[in-house]
Amino acid sequence: MTPEKDPKIIAAKLCEFAHTNFVAEGVEFDENSPLSQAGIDSFALVELVLFCERGLGVRVPDSHLTGDNLASMTSLANCIAKLALDGQPST
């Protein structure tokens, strides 16, 4: 799988995944919403990380799950895009 490298496409895919899997219908949530206010917990975070592996072809190491990278989907997307450009393998 070719890793996705465009931060905007990555952010849109992450938001779509969040809406499908753990954010309730009708809740305002977009690329710039603070993840801390979206009720994202450890379980949702792992689901998100696994989606990055499977759906975007990028493995996000634990060391990259920092407060800054998890501020919003945009910041997470930037982190993923950088990992993809650096050639981070998905497995």
Where does this chain bind other proteins (CB under 8 A)?
Answer: 22-27, 29, 35-36, 38-47, 49-50, 62-63, 65-67, 70
Q: Which is nearer to other proteins, 11 or 23 (CB)?
A: 23
Rounded least distance, CB 65 to other proteins, Å: 6
Q: At what angle do helices 7-21 and 73-85 cross, to 10 degrees?
A: 130
With respect to other proteins, which residue has the nearer C-beta, 2 or 24?
24
Q: Which residue, chain included where needed, has tokens 């309730």?
A: 24
d(CA 79, CA 35): 15
